[in-house]
Each structure stands twice: as structure tokens, then as C-alpha cells.
Amino acid sequence: MRRSSLMVSVLIAASLGAPVSSPAAPGATAPHPGFLLSAQANQLDVYDLSAPVPALSRSTVIHAHDHDPDAEPGTDPVGRGNDVNGQICRIVQSNGDVRYVIGEDSDQDRLPAGVAQGWGLFAATGGATGPWTMIDKIVAPYRLHDNDHQPEMTGCAVSADGSMLFLVDLGVGAFDVPGVGSLFVYHRDASGDFSAASPGCVLADDLTTAGYIALHPDGSVLVPESGRSGGGVVSRFRGPFPMPGAACDAYRAAHGVASRESFLRALAPLPFDPISFVPISIVRRGSGWLVGNAVPGQVAEYDQTGGFVRVIAAGHPPGVAGIAVDRAGSLTIANLGLVPCETVLCPVDGAGTLWKVAFDPVSDTPLPAVPLMAGLTYPEGIAIFAGI
């Protein structure tokens, strides 16, 4: 992913088919918390959350791309590495093979915009300790040539029945720049798999700084968007979702930025100030929702209808990005590590962190956040799965 400077509005699933996101009942024995997948520094790290010190269990299953200066663009040997970033999703192919869907943009600095950037389909050939292998890649029809836009893969989500894969291109990470980010839906190909041959549809191509997404139980897609002078939103895209063709064009026309439904009903306790509500991520916890806010850095809880409930974690440095919930209901937060710069706030190599917020087993009150890992470079989308 590009290390471009970002304005205040910044970038920023299935365990056995679905993300781990439902807390255990109070007093119940906590299940294995699962494995945390974290994309950072153009690599993918895996943590065993059952380890006494998860940081000591970290394995890099996908290493960053090691460019061969003498190789032709796009021809570096297989296995040299991949530049991965963004949210991580899990899909199951028609024959039962598991694939992990992760943004992959190796050679983005050597190939035209829109050629290198896509979503890799990785097989966990080396298990939780790696290495993993990219089997295929989906490259979407981005909205190019607007605002000097280079695609950046942020969100992904899988429909409950596994038939649709939703993908998000960030757009441009800046305030009051016309939205050029996209929401795509991909259907299974003729063989019943997700692949480069999967038919896709552009559901929106005017997203503003679109982040890490979630599926609502009713099948709608929840997409955090910031970068608007009027304040950030979590947009809601409802089905039925079309196949490619005229129906796809009609859906996009009917869900433009001026007519999109907003999921959140109340933004308290944040003041009504557009630079104080910069939603970047959303994840389900129990019957409600947690929303990550990049600036100021915090996570808030909302009920099932989008009404504000409480602040879960406040006082974080600017840069809250991906969030994930394990089977015990504990929250993990990725923080990009933003510091003041000429364009307000910028990520700094090695300033990223991961945090855990556990909850009291009786009252469900959030406990103080504790660090899981520091010294990270641009940690973004994360996910927790019960197994690899």
C-alpha cells in the first residue's frame, strides 16, 4: 500500500465461514479466542490469542514483496512475497478449499494504476506459521483518472450464504475530495468458486475514504465513510444485489452519495464537528455494533438499530483503524500510528500498535485497553478466526 500522506480523514469473513464476533454469555467458560490476522508493513502476521503472550506467538505467513530490480514488472518469482493490506476475509470454494481474501498490490509502483492492485486469494499452505500462497487474484474495475486516484483495497465481507463477496476501494484519503472509492460485489464463477473469472458489479463508485466493512444480519452492507465536510457516516447498502448488467447500473444510480441510507442514528458523545467523527471500521458484537473512529482515536458501541450506547475505548492516539471481536467478546484494535505532518496527520513506520479490550464477565463493562504489539508499520484491517 502507498505510504502517501493522509488528511484527518484517513484510510482507514468467515471462522469456518464467519468472523468471530459473538461474546460468550456471562459466567460461561471462555472458548479459545482464536487467531488474530493483522496486515501491516505489506505483510500478514498471525497471532495465537490463546498464547500467554500473543506477541510471542506472532508468525509472518505472507512476507512483503522483495522486488528484484532486474526482473520485468510482474515477473518476480512465485513465493518471493506479496504486498498485502486491508481487511481479511475467509471464503470456502466449491470443493471445500479455504481461501483468505486480502488486498494485494505488488508492483503498484511499476505498473499502471489499476493493474497491480487487487484482492489476492491465498491458501494457508503453511498453516498458522506460514508461508501462505496466492492462488488467484480479483482485479476490479476501479474508477480511475479522478483525483489522481490509485486504488487502495480496504474492506471486504462475505454474505451469510457465501454466495457473494463484497470488496471496497478506499478512494482518496483526504477531506472534501469528491468521492471516487468503490463498493463491488462479486458472485461465484461458473465452477462455483470465487476467482478472477467471477462476475462483478459496481454497487457504488463515489465513496469518500471508505474503510473496513461489515455485513448486517439482514444482508445489507455497512460501509464507514469519512472525508465529508458534513461529517462521517456509516452507509448502508441493502439488497437484493444485482448481477452485472443494466440492473447493476440502475442499483448504482439509485444509491448515490446524496441518497444513501445512513446506519447510525446518533453520534454522541462526539461533538457535531466533521473532523471529530471519522468512522473507519465497524464490527458486530453480540446484538450491537462497535465502530472505530480514526480521529480522535476511539471505539464506540451502537445498538442493533444504530443508536449510540457507550464509549468502549477512548483516549487512543489518532489512527484507530481495523477492529475485530473474538469468541469471548474481547475487542482488538489496530492503530495506524498517526503523527502531525504537513497534511495534518500522517502514518509513521514503526509507530503502529495493536490493543486488546476485555470485558468484565458479569457486568460486560469494558476494561482498560492493554497493548498486544508495538513497532508496527501501518497496521490496518484485522480479523479473528477460530482456526486456520
The set of residues, in sequence order, having a beta carbon less than 8 Å from that of 38 and lying 6+ positions away, is 44, 45, 46, 47, 322, 334, 354, 373, 376, 379, 382
The grid coordinates of residue 35 equal 487467531
Averaged pLDDT for residues 384-388: 96
> Could you tell me which residues are beta bridge partners of residue 46?
37, 59
Q: How large is the average pLDDT for residues 10-26?
A: 44
Looking at residue 326, what is its pLDDT? 95
Q: Which tens digits make up the pLDDT trace of 41-52? A: 999 999 999 999
Q: What is the pLDDT of residue 43?
A: 97
- pLDDT at res. 9: 35
Question: pLDDT band for position 8 (50/70/90)?
Answer: very low
Find the mean pLDDT for residues 313-337: 94
Residue 222: closest CA among 263, 253, 189, 270:
263
Q: What is the mean pLDDT of residues 257-267?
A: 86
Q: What is the pLDDT of residue 66?
A: 80
pLDDT of residue 199: 98
Q: How far apart are CA 204 and CA 217, in angstroms?
A: 21
Specify the pLDDT at position 146: 83
- 119 and 105 Cβ atoms separated by less than 8 Å: no
pLDDT at 69: 66
**What Cα–Cα distance (Å) separates residue 334 from each residue in 193, 341, 363?**
31, 21, 25
Mean pLDDT over residues 217-237, rounded?
91
Percent of the chain with pLDDT over 90: 72
pLDDT band per the 50, 70, 90 thresholds, residue 317: confident
More confident residue, 158 or 346: 158
Mean pLDDT of the chain: 88
Any idea which architecture 35-64+80-385 has in CATH?
Answer: 6 Propeller (2.120)
What confidence category does residue 15 fall into, taking pLDDT thresholds of 50, 70 and 90? very low
pLDDT recorded at residue 4: 42
* More confident site: 269 or 323: 323
pTM (predicted TM-score): 0.91
Domain extents for the chain?
A: 35-64+80-385
What pLDDT was estimated at residue 21?
53
| Alpha carbon distance 109, 107 (integer Å) | 5
Provide mean pLDDT across the span 41-69.
92
- Per-residue 3-state assignment (H helix, E strand, C coil) for the chain: CCCCCECCCCCCCCECCECCCCCCCCCCCCCCCCEEEEEECCEEEEEECCCCCHHHHCEEEECCCCCCCCCCCCCCCCCCCCCEEEEEEEEECCCCCEEEEEEECCCCCCCCCCCCCEEEEEECCCHHHCCCEEEEEECCCCCCCCCCCCCCEEEEEECCCCCEEEEEECCCCCCCCCCCEEEEEEECCCCCCCCCCCCEEEEEEEECCECECEECCCCCEEEEECCCCCCCEEEEECCCCCCCCHHHHHHHHHCCCCCCEECCCCCCCCCCCHHHCCEEEEEEECCEEEEEECCCEEEEEECCCCCEEEEEEEEECCCEEEEEECCCCCEEEEECCEEEECCEEEECCCCEEEEEECECCCCCCECCCEEEEEEECCCCCEEEECCC
Average pLDDT over residues 347-362: 96
Q: Is the pLDDT of residue 2 over 80?
A: no
Out of 64-78, 93-107, 365-379, pick the least confident.
Answer: 64-78
